Amino acid sequence: MRRLRLLILAGAIGVAGCTATNPFVTAPLPADTGVKDAGPRVAICYNVLKTPPEKIQELAQAQCLGKTTAERVDTDYRVDNCPLLTPGRATFVCNPAK
């Protein structure tokens, strides 16, 4: 019985590890004092070594609603915002389409 539990635990850790470096939506950086964004902000946590810039842009664009375009305005690498395996956080503003 103990062996079965260990096997199940190892399998769960293995499955979780496969998705641990996938990019995901998170809370964006706030705008600087006095800065007025043209639209809402969205942010993506990502692995700086594994995630191509096109994928980050695609995920951000999917978060922008209506006829808007995701424009990258900042990037930070603080692990208090994103986990250790995905420490990059790209912040975008959803600007109205031109």
DSSP helix/strand/coil, 45? strand
Spatial CA neighbour of 48 closest among 23, 80, 15? 23
Count: domains in the chain: 1
pLDDT at residue 19 greater than cutoff 90: no
Cα 36 to Cα 31, 32, 41, distances in angstroms? 7, 9, 11
Domain range spanning residue 43? 21-96
pLDDT of the residue at 14: 45
Better-predicted residue by pLDDT, 6 or 79: 79
What is the CB-side half-sphere exposure of residue 19 using CA atoms within 13 A?
5
Is 27 among the domain residues? yes
For residue 40 the two structure tokens come to 């809402």
pTM, whole model, 2 decimals?
0.77
Is 11 among the domain residues? no
Is 7 among the domain residues? no
